[in-house]
């Protein structure tokens, strides 16, 4: 009898383990809820449905991940991503409720990948409060200064350089143009230093949609190495400003950050300052890079839209009192009605976010369902922007749709390219201004034609342009 005791004990242990495992899997598949959860599948334990969520699509349409689940479960469903339990929403009413209740029932949430790349104390991931508001105020002041003094000059120089080449790759050329300007106005550095800094960002976008595996060879590892190099460079620049004398001021964002650190203002922590600077650089140039690259492809495919832009901007030039100034004024920018519609249509189709996440602070009941405390809510801008209920023929590039007063209200309510609520992207106005000034200079002084490329990929919500080559020539010359 004693001979069988070890075997008997082993069988008991294995039985208990199997029982525990079965119970754990059951709880994963059927999570507890004080109410009714939306329909859906939790996928495999821990992994959930993350692999399906990250599946690449070569279409501009709603990713299959959402399509399949909409057809099976409806616009609100439960799932599991990144090891977290999630309620995904393609429902406009639910989305607006989540945005309106931020800070009360929900709070912002960013995955470990984003937190690691952007910095846990960057403005992108920082909670709303006095520090966040102060940083936004500093940023807005700098951006208005950029608008008034330097955007058009930067655009003109860039387009002239493009026209001097047989062809340019749009994504890289736009990224260089935007990053050079941001680096100058945020950090006070010239093109050579700017391009050296931008090398550190080349893996950031792919890393946003990767697993945070930190070992050599992975996208995340390369991204984190770039972040380390960038932080080192930014720290050196900030140190120079902190010990510099007044006559060496650059009147840029870094000067304002240094002033805050010296006097112990709202920004009192060097790490917060460095994370904020790197976050602004990344968010600023990636957003506009994607929008402008995809926008150039849409314009090339829709010559009637280009004619509409020419008409609006040539009228601005005719009305301008001081023609020699060549600078777009704030009033002129605000008068660009059709241009604003074109930009809205570009960002409606070219979403640059892998999804908007919020964490539930307490059990929330909405539309007959309960979202348990601690769960995430995933809002899908692409699924809303491409919903024919809100946007007729949603895949069509049609800026004139925004002139339909009967449908305009519903479209605006469901137009969320920059998020919503307290966390509305503070770079939204800068993005609109820069694209407006770019289009103004482009259509009044240049013409262009496609050379090759122009495809896109979607991974989750994120739209990634492939290489796209065009030839730019002055309007008074013929294209080759």
467 Ramachandran zone, left/alpha/beta (phi>0; psi -120 to 50)? beta
- Using one digit for the tens of pLDDT, what is the confidence trace for 321-345? 766 666 888 889 999 999 999 999 9
DSSP conformation class of 466: -
% pLDDT > 70, the chain: 81
Residue 447 near residue 128 (C-beta atoms within 8 A)? no
What does DSSP assign to residue 127?
P
The pLDDT assigned to 479 comes to 47
Provide the 3-class DSSP secondary structure of residue 387: coil
At 129 the pLDDT is: 46
Q: What is the mean pLDDT of the chain?
A: 83
Does position 109 have pLDDT exceeding 90, yes or no? Answer: no
pLDDT-derived band at 387, boundaries 50, 70, 90? very high
Q: What is the pLDDT of residue 277?
A: 79
pLDDT at 8: 65
Q: Specify the pTM.
A: 0.86
Question: Which of helix, strand or coil describes residue 447?
Answer: strand
More confident residue, 28 or 67: 67
Residue 425 has pLDDT above 70, yes or no: no
Report the alpha-carbon distance of residue 31 to residue 35 in Å, rounded.
Answer: 11
Position with higher pLDDT, 182 vs 377: 377
The two three-digit tokens of residue 88, written as one number: 């995904």
pLDDT of residue 103: 85
Q: Which residue has the higher pLDDT, 259 or 167?
A: 167
| Position 240 pLDDT exceeds 70 | yes
pLDDT beyond 60 at 195? yes
How far apart CA 222 and CA 187 sit, in angstroms, is 24
Ranking 65-79, 134-148, 267-281, 400-414 by mean pLDDT, the lowest is 134-148
Quote the pLDDT of residue 95.
Answer: 93
Is the confidence at residue 273, as pLDDT, over 60? yes
pLDDT classification of 89: cutoffs 50, 70, 90: very high
Confidence band for 85, pLDDT divided at 50, 70 and 90 = very high
The contacts found for 353-357 with CB under 8 angstroms, 24 or more apart, are: 353/381, 353/419, 353/461, 353/462, 354/208, 354/209, 354/459, 354/460, 354/461, 354/462, 355/379, 355/380, 355/381, 355/460, 355/461, 356/380, 356/381, 356/416, 356/419, 356/420, 357/108, 357/109, 357/110, 357/111
Give the C-alpha separation, 286 to 462, whole Å. Answer: 11
Residue 439 has pLDDT above 70, yes or no: yes
- pLDDT grade, residue 22 (50/70/90)? low
Quote the CA–CA distance of 375 and 106 in Å, as a whole number: 10
pLDDT for res 343: 96
Q: Quick one: pLDDT band at residue 14, thresholds 50, 70, 90?
A: confident
- Which is higher by pLDDT, 215 or 172? 172
* pLDDT value at 33 more than 60: yes
Backbone angles phi, psi at 52, to 5 degrees: -65, -35
User: Which of 44-53, 163-172, 365-374 is the least confident region?
Assistant: 44-53
């Amino acid at each position: 009898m004693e001979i069988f005791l070890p075997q008997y004990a082993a069988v008991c242990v294995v039985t208990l383990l199997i029982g525990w495992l079965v119970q754990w899997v059951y709880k994963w598949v059927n999570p507890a809820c004080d109410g009714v959860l939306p329909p859906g599948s939790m996928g495999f334990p821990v992994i959930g449905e993350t692999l399906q969520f990250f599946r690449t699509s070569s279409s501009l349409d709603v990713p299959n991940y959402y399509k399949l689940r909409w057809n099976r479960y409806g616009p609100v469903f439960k799932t599991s991503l990144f090891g977290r339990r999630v309620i995904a929403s393609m429902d406009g009413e639910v989305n607006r409720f989540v945005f309106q209740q931020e800070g009360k029932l929900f709070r912002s949430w960013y995955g470990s990948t984003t937190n690691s790349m952007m910095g846990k104390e960057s403005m992108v991931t920082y909670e709303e409060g006095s520090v966040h508001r102060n940083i936004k105020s500093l940023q807005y002041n700098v951006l208005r200064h950029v608008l008034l003094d330097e955007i058009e000059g930067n655009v003109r120089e860039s387009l002239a350089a493009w026209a001097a080449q047989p062809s340019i790759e749009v994504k890289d050329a736009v990224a260089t143009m935007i990053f050079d300007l941001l680096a100058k106005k945020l950090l006070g550095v010239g093109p050579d230093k700017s391009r050296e800094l931008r090398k550190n960002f080349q893996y950031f976008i792919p890393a946003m949609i990767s697993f945070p595996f930190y070992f050599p060879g992975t996208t995340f590892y390369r991204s984190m190495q770039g972040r380390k190099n960038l932080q080192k460079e930014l720290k050196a620049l900030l140190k120079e400003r902190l010990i510099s004398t007044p006559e060496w001021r650059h009147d840029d964002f870094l000067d304002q950050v240094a002033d805050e650190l010296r006097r112990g203002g709202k920004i009192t922590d060097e790490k917060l300052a460095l994370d904020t600077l790197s976050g602004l650089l990344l968010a600023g140039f990636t957003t506009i890079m994607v929008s402008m690259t995809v926008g150039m492809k849409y314009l090339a495919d829709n010559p009637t839209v280009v004619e509409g832009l020419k008409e609006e901007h040539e009228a601005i030039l005719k009305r301008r009192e001081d023609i020699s100034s060549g600078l777009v004024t704030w009033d002129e920018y605000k008068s660009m009605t059709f241009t604003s519609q074109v930009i809205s249509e570009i960002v409606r189709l070219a979403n640059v976010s892998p999804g908007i996440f919020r964490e539930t602070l307490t059990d929330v009941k909405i539309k007959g369902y309960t979202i348990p405390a601690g769960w995430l809510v995933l809002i899908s801008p692409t699924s809303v922007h491409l919903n024919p209920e809100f946007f007729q023929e949603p895949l069509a590039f049609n800026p004139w749709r925004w002139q339909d007063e009967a449908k305009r209200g519903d479209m605006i309510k469901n137009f969320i390219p920059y998020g919503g609520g307290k966390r509305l992207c503070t770079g939204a106005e800068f993005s609109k201004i820069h694209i407006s000034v770019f289009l103004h200079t482009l259509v009044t002084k240049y013409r262009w034609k496609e050379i090759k490329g122009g495809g896109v990929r979607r991974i989750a919500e994120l739209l990634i342009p492939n290489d796209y080559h065009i030839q730019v020539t002055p309007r008074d010359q013929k294209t080759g």
